[in-house]
Structure 1
Amino acid sequence: MRWNLFRTLAEIHDRLADIELAQFHLNRKAEKIMAKQDTLNALVTRIDTAVTGLKADIEDLKAQHEDVDFSGLEARVQGLEGLDAEYPVAAPQEPQE
């Protein structure tokens, strides 16, 4: 009977080692994903800043050249802004237990 107990404890130890290794690999993958997410967030911020700058530039041009039709440029900028509505930032998910 003692042999079975030791064998069972050894199996539990092995399974725990497997779980720890799997968790380590999952954590590494999560770190890589989060690094990519940070890169994407920085890119989105740069794009948002550029769109805001474009809108300001169009407004300046409109003020300087009232006779010029800027509706095409404005429509393109609105199209870029519309992407935010199409792909809104997802709300953070609560960890599931």
Structure 2
Amino acid sequence: MKFLGLIAAGLLGAVTLAPASASAAPVAAGSATLLVAGVVAAPQAVVVRERTVVRRGPGYRNDRRNRWSTRRVCTNRWRGNRKIRTCRQVRYRR
């Protein structure tokens, strides 16, 4: 749709500029400038952006704190003349 609108605006501009460049009567040149001014003023449309407000309950932020979580902790140890990685699950507070 935008592409067709741009083509239509270009054709309208070409039609309005043609009488002015062909040395027509002064009346035709005046009407051409009014049409060109109308085409220029059209793209200055007001853009309205809607804001969305999300309302959450009173315990929303508090729910994330004071929770236990687990993470994996790995260590490299020597056992029987070779290096072995041992991993364990560790709980921590968020």
Q: TM-score range by the shorter chain?
A: 0.3 to 0.5
How high is the TM-score relative to the length of structure 2? 0.35
More helix by share: 1
More strand by share: 2
How high is the TM-score relative to the length of structure 1? 0.34
